[in-house]
Structure 1
Amino acid sequence: MAGPEYQAVFLDGAVSLHTCYLKYGKLGQGVLAQVSTSPVKWQKIQFRYLPCRATLILSNNGFMWIYQTPEQKDKEAEGFVTNVEPVPLPDQEVISCLRNCIMALVAQKLMLYDTSMLHCYKASLPHQIKDLLKPEVEEIVLQTQQRLLELER
């Protein structure tokens, strides 16, 4: 199963992605994060459902889509589905926090994959979302790095 591939970013901020399957539908109600391709850990399955009610689509070309996990993720939607319901504020905060965690991990040259992002998210909870990109909050990245090293042992 191939994951989505980035095609273009338009002047209005819209993003064109390509998939081999219609079941993935149309992306909406989320945030695009762009990083260099080097920190993205290659994985066969590109969709990652995190327990914080967010889903990550990791692309090997450095583009990542973060969105609220659908209530019925087990059902495979056929065709293009557009969800126009407003994203609840708590889910917006989770999405924003994950985006800032990605940027913080990249700044410290840590590999990006579901486990590293989840540990960074957990370490970031005591902080304000807007503060996660400040140099003085690099402790969340250090905590993430330490947790990943513990898991390797």
Structure 2
Amino acid sequence: MASNWIHELLVHGSNKLIHDRKPPISSSSFYTPGDLITNDIESFICGNGTILDSSNSSILSTVAGNVEYINKLIRVIPPKARYLGEIGDVIVGRVIRVCQRKWAIDLNGQQPATLQLSAIYLPGGIQRRKLEEDELLIRQFFVEGDLISAEVQAIHADGSVSIHTRSVKYGKVPLCAYLCNGIFVAVNPRNIQRSKFHFVSLACGVDLIIGINGFIWIGLPEDTQARLNTANVVDGNPYALANRNLSVDDRLLLSRVRNCILILDTHSISISETSIQNCLQISSDFEVPCLLDRDISISIASRLFKDAYK
């Protein structure tokens, strides 16, 4: 019951604080496909998850979810949905296929995104045209299973997404099966809070890449210039990143941050630098393995809510 109470207040209550103008539509009501949202078709415009029924002069829901409105625009947002890209979004994705002059990237969306060979930075930060030699060595840049950080470059008419890594801060994310370099976490994209900064350094000494698509990378601080140092070559591959041996304390720290993010996601609390910091502070009273216990998780979420609305 406590978890449902927190969910109702944090999810449905948040929409009421965003806009000053409130139409006569309840944003806390749950709509199913075919439900009537409003008959006032002159005052409102159909958005995602809605359809105009001209025969009855009404706006109907086409998906299950809650109503969200921005001025005259009405849309229905499902509790869980695939990521819909927007230009400029910082994302974390996984390479699922290597194609000719491009890679197919899983962004937790409705279809894989595309990363063109011409849309990446070359080792050493060199800015030049990509040659046939680069195409032949395409697997030295990214291969299947690699995690990358990137930015959404374009949204095409068919809904497909193009991304790029033309910056030093983007590129391959260190990944190791033994968690030598960090931890990957997947959460509901609806719980990610948009911010100016999605490359976050926490006070505890952990760096985060909070992808708006719901993919989050947790790792220890990395020297950005090391990405440009061509001397750091592993097995002749300039894009390969050497695994680091982490101490037990480092692994526990990364695991604590991961568990705090999962607590926020479980209770539909917005995931941001501030909420993660607050959750870490509250979780210091508990051991890392105990954080995902149901009762402890609800207790931490309750304290987060009370602190937010003091």
TM-score range, shorter chain: 0.7 to 0.9
One-letter amino acid matched to 2:286: H
TM-score by length of 2: 0.43
One-letter amino acid matched to 1:78: L
TM-score by length of 1: 0.81
How far apart in 1 are the matches of 2:309 and 2:226?
36
> What count of residue pairs does the alignment treat as equivalent?
146
* Number of the residue aligned with 2:93: 6
Is it true that 1:27 corresponds to 2:114 in the alignment?
A: no
One-letter amino acid matched to 1:52: C
Specify which structure has the higher proportion of strand. 2
Q: Cα–Cα, structure 1 residues 22 and 120, in superposed 2: closer, same or farther, change >3 Å?
A: same
Specify which structure has the higher proportion of helix. 1
Give SS of 1:57's match: strand
Percent identical residues: 20
Residue of structure 2 aligned with 1:116, choices 275, 281, 285 = 275
1:3-152 to 2 correspondence within 5 Å?
Answer: 3-8=90-95, 14-19=145-150, 20-24=165-169, 25-28=171-174, 29-70=181-222, 72=223, 77-78=227-228, 80=239, 82-137=241-296, 138-150=298-310
Q: CA deviation at 1:69?
A: 1.9
Q: Show structure 1 runs of 5+ residues with no match.
A: none
How far apart in 1 are the matches of 2:280 and 2:295?
17
Q: CA deviation at 1:144?
A: 2.0
The structure having more radius of gyration, on CA atoms, is: 2
Q: CA deviation at 1:5?
A: 3.7
Q: Cα–Cα, structure 1 residues 76 and 22, in superposed 2: closer, same or farther, change >3 Å?
A: farther
Q: Show structure 2 runs of 5+ residues with no match.
A: 1-87, 98-143, 151-164, 175-180, 230-238
Asked whether the equivalents of residues 116 and 148 of structure 1 are also in contact (C-alpha less than 8 Å), the reply is no
Structure 1 residues 4-51: Cα deviation after superposition (integer angstroms, max 9, x where no partner): 4414469xx944325223523532211111011100001132100001
